[in-house]
Amino acid sequence: MTSGDAAVPTATGPDFRAHPWRRTVRRVPANTPADADAGLLARLRTVIAAQPDAVALVDDERSMTFGEVAELAARTARAVAGLSFRRWHPDADDTEVDPVAVLAAHRAETVAAVIGVIAAGSPVVVLDHALPHPRLLQYLEGSGARAVVHDPAHRDRAERLAAAAPAGRPLTLVPIPTGDALADPSADARARAGDLVPEGQPEPEVLAPAALVFTSGTTGRPKGVVYDHRLFPRSAWNVSVRDGTYDADDVLASVLPLGFSAGLDHTLAGLQVGARQHLRDLRAAGTGDVLAWLRGSGVTVVNTTPSMGRALVALVPDGERLADFRSLTLTSEAMHHSDAAALRAVLPPDCALSNRWGASETGLASVLPLVPGESGEPGQSGQLPVGWPVTELQLEVEPEQDSAPGTGVVTVTGRYIARRYWRDPVKTAESFAELPDGRRRFRSADVGRIDERGCFLLLGRRDHSVKVRSYLVEPGEVDAALFALPDIRESVVVGDDSAGRTRLVAYVVSTAEKPAAASVRSRLREVLPPWMVPETVVFLERLPRTERGKIDRFALPPAPLFVPGGTPPRTDWEGVVADLWARVLQLPEVGVHDDFFELGGDSLAAEELLALVAIELRIPDVDSQALLESATVAEFAHALQGGMPTDRRYSTLVPLRREGTGRPLFCLAGGGGLAMAFVPLVRHLRDDLPVWGLQAHGLEHRAVPDWSVEAAARRQVRALRSVQPHGPYRLLGHSFGAVLAVEVARQLTAAGETVDGLVVVDALPPGSRVPADRSRSRLLRARDVVGMLLSGIGPDRGQGQYPRFYRQARFLTRRYRPQPWTGRALVVAADGPDRDQRMAWGRTLNGPWSVVHLPGDHHSVLREPHVRGLARSVADFLERTDAAAADSDAGPQ
């Protein structure tokens, strides 16, 4: 469809000069749209000549003036120009041009070296030093680079790359000139006046390739995008003059790596504006002191990603603001209203906050000014638009077959976008088109729509779209709905075909104390049609990201396979029970032979189901053991009709797997937790291992609970000895269950029994300081205390007893003073802010013990997919304890 077709929505923007942050700015001298046609080197020449002694670049070790940047760039240019490489001319094919790579740290001298390569007339390829060796080789092969300019710190890596180069195309290594290397006083004087091109060499033409920027390669092999000399000054004009957001009086933070298109573009823009820049690689330095660094550097302008913006918000102390900030722009990934609201709370009221979008093939393409009162206000939710096109560009949406009305593939048209894909005419023809008026059109892989204001909203990528039940779904729209939930920090929704059909899987980072998939799906059903609600929700501690900070979809763990449906209910009673299951699990339908746990049911869903059975079906004596023993709709419906046993001698003991030939493993649940929480773990342990769960007395059957760790341990000792009268015993405890397991082990040992293995799963050791929840009022805290005192005997037999027992467990832990245990132990610590504290068991465990770190958090370590790693660690530990016991029985040889 052509741009002239009226059916193609087109985005047009407002006059940004009307926004309140715009100010009278100082530029050295003024940028103009005509700078683009003169090219990058001409603009740099103007700025350098105007202020050679002004500070341009600052890193952790040195600062460089504009004149010093010019000198080092000119020396690099002379070193590169001395190589007998082929350079671009109007009739040259890409295969007839030899690019030059730069491999160095994120430092001032690296920026100068990049400019020097461009001034020498060679296309520059900036290699990100954080990338693995195979990826760098891939970039060198794709670009055909014949030389690598490197700093001393990366000489060894450059030599490795040279050693791997093909015999017919050797790789020349060029150190970044330092000190007197290649010094020429007259040439350096010319450089300080802005003359960066080596003497006797022609100025590179503006249509010549200045840089090759590789795409992220998230959907396949990275492609080299060709930037000519016009794109950089046009972008500098857009990000400074057009928006009026920064000028030569500002101090910029350069934190995006130069190997990224956004990082290279931002850093070169700062030089062309004449501003001072402070460089830091946050991947190496970390974010711990980034706040002090920003303030100490006097930074006023930051361009970064939404994920880094969230990290910045978390670092700002309550009641403080980033007072020096004048402009903060976020780019490279989806931004949400919640991000804007959180940033507004820590930014000065007059700080320019904006959301920006652009592809590697377009440079900056659109801007959304987040003006107070319009965006990011409390109560607003969902994904933010990416705004209106920048000057000279035209954004359109081309509808595709099956796309929703008003949505389609995003195209960007303009004079100053990328030229083509390097040495790839086929993909160039697929994505780029030359228009009769001299402009170029790029057809992206992004899907979006344009609202009635002409504002552009991204919905995701074309290659991420999926069909669910014949409906075309853009996962980005589901992401937006997830981000609107108050306890969701990050999420990504993907299509998955492992179930033999297409389903949506949501990977979620939640701040909820006990995140539950059913709860997430339930809330999504209130705002999304059924086919857009993810069938599976996987909780992660953090989303995996690529070296560019983008979500790495290939690194997401496999989602559990839940396949609801199958045989429909055969009787009205089975229909009633199936309806309860579907409601609790938030599934459209459940078959009578479907397994509760295979459908994604966990201990939280079981709590809700049992409460509904008691309230709606008026069958009050159903416990979790009944669900374990009757795990399908048909079995559970039959068990409910036959009546539930009301007298279990050991109500704390729950069989998780009765049959087996080996010695059993006893698993003690956390405070307020059901023993069935260990079901996912059991399913990944060997089939011949009997496993029994232990939970609090009174949790499911009305009874007075135990009010000390010692008393609870005595009860659990009696229960487990009813299954295994004598040792050796093997114990596992999660959270408070681990504290209880230590006391059980101590009591068994005192009784003359042997405990040859204890697994502590993500638990705070006794004596740890646990901060009180001050977010609740005194009245609510008083109610909590009263509720805790009624644990096991209170009137609420729904789901209210679980938090009561949780608070009771915290109370018992604070009073417990354990004696050291000297047996063999394994401590498992999941990811989380207090992981180090959960590893500090040295005062309690005085025997041989070891620590393993696992992904997941305190709750998800017992769930898919993280529970698989836990199961491997437990299985290895049990094998070692069995081997040690066998050696001990055999005695000396």
pLDDT in tens, 839-861: 888 888 888 999 998 877 777 78
- pLDDT at residue 782, as a whole number: 58
- pLDDT at residue 342, as a whole number: 87
The separation between CA 558 and the C-alpha centre of its own chain, rounded to angstroms, equals 16
H or E element that contains 789: helix 778-789
Among 59, 85, 58, 56, residue whose Cα is nearest residue 71: 56
- pLDDT at residue 827, as a whole number: 93
Going by the DSSP 8-state scheme, the letter that residue 2 receives in this structure is -
Would you say residue 19 has pLDDT above 50? no
Most confident of 204-218, 379-393, 492-506: 204-218
> Which residues are bridge partners to 505 per DSSP?
494, 536
Between 131 and 373, whose confidence is greater? 131
H or E element that contains 889: helix 867-890
CA atoms within 13 A on the CB side of 329: 28
Average pLDDT over residues 526-546: 78
Residue pair 476/462 in contact by the 8 Å Cβ criterion: no
Average pLDDT over residues 813-824: 85
Q: How far apart are alpha carbons 861 and 514 in whole angstroms? A: 12
Superfamily of domain 465-555: ANL, C-terminal domain (3.30.300.30)
Residue pair 693/719 in contact by the 8 Å Cβ criterion: no
Would you say residue 41 has pLDDT above 90? yes
Task: Give alpha helix (H) positions in 193-305.
Answer: 231-237, 261-273, 282-285, 290-297
Task: Give alpha helix (H) positions in 375-463.
Answer: 425-431
Lowest mean pLDDT among 71-80, 398-407, 785-794: 785-794
Between 695 and 181, whose confidence is greater? 695
Average pLDDT over residues 571-589: 73
Q: How far apart are alpha carbons 244 and 25 in whole angstroms? A: 7
Q: How far apart are alpha carbons 230 and 35 in whole angstroms? A: 8
Would you say residue 34 has pLDDT above 80? no
Lowest mean pLDDT among 413-427, 451-465, 788-802: 788-802
- pLDDT at residue 135, as a whole number: 81
Domain ranges of the chain: 465-555, 650-885
Which residues in 708-867 belong to E strands, given as ranges?
729-734, 755-761, 825-830, 849-854
Q: How far apart are alpha carbons 757 and 774 in whole angstroms? A: 38
Lowest mean pLDDT among 35-44, 280-289, 580-589: 580-589
Q: How far apart are alpha carbons 363 and 357 in whole angstroms? A: 9
Architecture of domain 650-885: 3-Layer(aba) Sandwich (3.40)
Q: How far apart are alpha carbons 381 and 378 in whole angstroms? A: 8
- pLDDT at residue 21, as a whole number: 44
pTM: 0.61
CA torsion, points 736, 739, 741, 746, in degrees to nearest 10? -160
Q: How far apart are alpha carbons 826 and 854 in whole angstroms? A: 13
H or E element that contains 137: helix 133-143
- pLDDT at residue 158, as a whole number: 95
Average pLDDT over residues 238-262: 85
- pLDDT at residue 642, as a whole number: 65
- Would you list the DSSP string of 664-706? -EEEEPPTT--GGGGHHHHTTS-TT--EEEE--TTSSS--PPP
Structure tokens that stand for 602 in this block = 């966990």
- Count Cβ atoms within 10 A of the Cβ of residue 754 and give its class: 0-12 exposed, 13-18 middle, 19 or more buried: middle
Would you say residue 440 has pLDDT above 80? yes
pLDDT tens digits for 698-745? Answer: 776 666 777 888 988 998 999 899 889 998 999 999 998 999 999 999
Mean pLDDT of the chain: 81
- pLDDT at residue 228, as a whole number: 95
Q: Please, what is the Cα angle at 52 between 49 and 56, to 5 degrees? A: 120
- pLDDT at residue 554, as a whole number: 78
Between 345 and 589, whose confidence is greater? 345
